Structure 1
Amino acid sequence: MPQHIDTRYETAIARRDRWAAAAAKHREAQAKREAAGKVALAKLSQEAADKAEAHAKAHGQEADRLAPMVQRAQTVRRQNELAAEARLARAMDLAAATPHPVSLSAKEQRRLAKEQEKRDRLAQQGQAQRKRDEKAAGVDHDPRTAAGQREIQIRGPAVDKRASLADYANLIHRQTDRTPPRLLALERFDQLWHRAHAGQFPNPRFERGVDTSRKIGGVSDDRAESLRLIGDVKARIGEEFFAILFHRVINGHSFSWMASQGMGESERLGVLFLAAIDATARHFGLRERSRAVEAMEQQVSAA
């Protein structure tokens, strides 16, 4: 694949400077050997210096030949950037001058209304079934309480239903999305978070015993290392994904409660939750790298 003109120019400059430095080094060695009376070695240094200077001259000529081309390419790129900025500015001005968005046709409006009505009907049916299951399990759901804000799973036959807090698998609603790497990523995130924050919350799951032999209190090595690791997770996946995992995994909050707190729609939160799990799994080395990242790196390396 042919190299970009800028890359060829920079390569020529780098090679010219490298050979020039080598020539200067050989000239210095030649002078020292001549002063010491080492004629044969001085001659070898002279030949090496002459060869290095020839290479430096050749690459310098190549750089001089490419310099006008690079200048023209930079000028064209700048002109293209200015033209693109001008087109974008005109498009934004046109959008701002538009008094209202383009209206949909009557047929399209009816279709969208029917789809929304169907979604609302399915949501109402799901809520009604959920309430019947909660009643059969003896659950008094009150979203104002901490228990009412959490994801509850109800199991068992119709005559003997039982409710419990959702485990890792049931935090993911669709069974097809409950892959082993995702479940393992949830477990590792949960354990790492509790080790990092042991002693800071009312019910730490992995609280370490109190070491009474120490006279000076401090942070345990395990917790210090866990704080560093959980910080790496947050830096890798981003604060929004990290917050979604916190609400969903650590606190066990339901998507409906998260939506009621202004965090977004339930459907969108479900998608973001899966994306956060996948990012965490990749951080822990449980999943392959994203295809988008691999494609980007291949294109950049081939440029």
Structure 2
Amino acid sequence: MADSNTTDFTNPSIFILLGIPGLEAAHGWISIPFCVLYIITILENITILYIVKKEPSLHEPMYYFLCMLAVTDLFLCTSIVPKTLSIFWFNSREIDFGSCFTQLYLIHCFLVIESGIFVAMAFDRYVAICNPLRHSSILTNSIMAKICVAVVLRGFMLILPIPIMGSRWPYCRSNIIPHSYCKHFSVVSLACADFRPSSYYSVSMVILVPSVDGFFIAVSYTQILRAIFRLPTKDARLKAFGTCGSHLCALSALYIPDLFVSLMQRIGSYVPLPVLSLMANVYLLVPPLLHPIIYGVRTKQIRDRVLWLVTRKRA
């Protein structure tokens, strides 16, 4: 093992994931909150899916998009946490070449899909508030299906060039990745080739996807706010704000941790590697954990259904 970490080679069959470098002795303790957060995230998102399915009043486009978000969150955290826990618990640091690029692809793909879901949610809120009488005729089941397919295909296609380019290069410097999962720059920086095309493309996606999606979301909410302020009564305005509050909180849960970690990486030379590695894990786990809580707290039908399930089990 030690020889393979330092000897020059071409196209290694495996990469070595270090977990949280510098905190190897504490991996057992670090695994406890990771495992607890993962279990809670799984239970929360499955509960959202169950409640939306069982509650007829939630069979609306907004909650179908919420189910799509829950499924995406489940896939996102599951693509990371099981391997991370195997490193922490069993010191299983090896990941084969193909699996590494598959994991890298899935992580970025699900993040782009999540961003697209929020654009779809913003469009739904725009139609519901600005054209309430036409909401059901505009967002038909056929249109909903097309939107969902478009969001998923966009994620798959935009991220596909990243693993294709990266997997074709020779790797002869090292096979050690200082994270618990295959982080894009940490992987491609090991290549003995000019990896700038992949780096430029990845950076462009990091900038363009949130910028374009943020633009459409901002346009939607500008129109929504104009419609809300034209409502005749304060109660009507507060109710309209309430229907958008969950979406805005969920957007904050996705983009704020991403922005924070991006800033941390830009000043990486001033931040200890264990902190960077730990934050790289945490920021991917925070949104899937918070999204069900946000919608559960702010959506009366979901909140009442959860309370009913809890009280029924206690009885």
Could you tell me the TM-score, scaled by structure 2's length?
0.25
Bigger Cα Rg: 1
The structure that is helix-richer by fraction is 2
Could you tell me the TM-score, scaled by structure 1's length?
0.26
